[in-house]
Homo-oligomer: A and B are copies of this chain.
Amino acid sequence: MEGYEKLEKARERIIETIAQNIHLYGLVPSAGRQYGMMFFQNEPLTLDDMTEKLGMSKTSMSTSVRALSDLKLVERAWKKGVRKDLYKVSDDWYQSFIDLFSIKWRRSVTLHLVAIKKSLAELEQLSTDPTASEELLEEVQIDIEKLKYIKNYYEWLERLVDVFEDQKIFDLVPIMNDSDNNSKD
């Protein structure tokens, strides 16, 4: 097998693995392939470049590059003399992971906490209703306990997101690069 072919095959393996795992980011394999392809380009790409490389429509490239940008997996780039929009993959993958976490889970936590607080307030109110039957009150009380539990859970999740966002997670799980392992010991 020829040299460039081997290089291409080694790249394809990585790209396909990314494509098959990008669902963890809520994205579709073709967006993963796009990301993977960009990863191995040493220059930022235009939408037309992507269309050519992937053989897909420019509209598709536009929408999926936007999805990738929303998750901060790719970012805009600039190159002198190029009028088209340019994109490159964000090069700090640790930060990308944290961004994913922030963007996806922060939003979810907030939505849940809003709903829980609202329902909790309603149930607390209901539990003081003098016209309520004994049976109802019992059910309400059980639900209040359940909601308090999940409220605590989502508050924990919120603090977890904080810990990622403010990089404290790296105290517990430090970044280590190969050289740390390889050097004499």
Which A positions have Cβ atoms within 8 angstroms of B? 3-4, 6-7, 9-11, 13-14, 16-18, 20-21, 23-24, 26, 39-40, 42, 93-94, 97, 104-105, 108, 111-112, 115-116, 118-119, 122-123, 126, 129, 131-133, 136, 139-140, 142-143, 146-153, 155-157, 159-160, 163, 168-169, 171-173, 175-178
- A163 touching B152, Cβ below 8 Å: no
A and B contact pairs by CB, cutoff 8 A, 23 listed: A3-B126, A3-B129, A3-B136, A6-B126, A7-B136, A7-B143, A10-B123, A10-B126, A13-B119, A14-B115, A16-B115, A17-B111, A21-B108, A24-B108, A40-B143, A93-B149, A148-B178, A152-B178, A159-B173, A160-B169, A168-B172, A171-B172, A172-B172
The listed residue (B20, B122, B156) touching A94 by CB distance below 8 A is B156
**Which chain B residues border A7 with CB–CB below 8 Å?**
123, 126, 136, 139-140, 143
Stoichiometry (number of copies)? 2
- B132 touching A17, Cβ below 8 Å: no
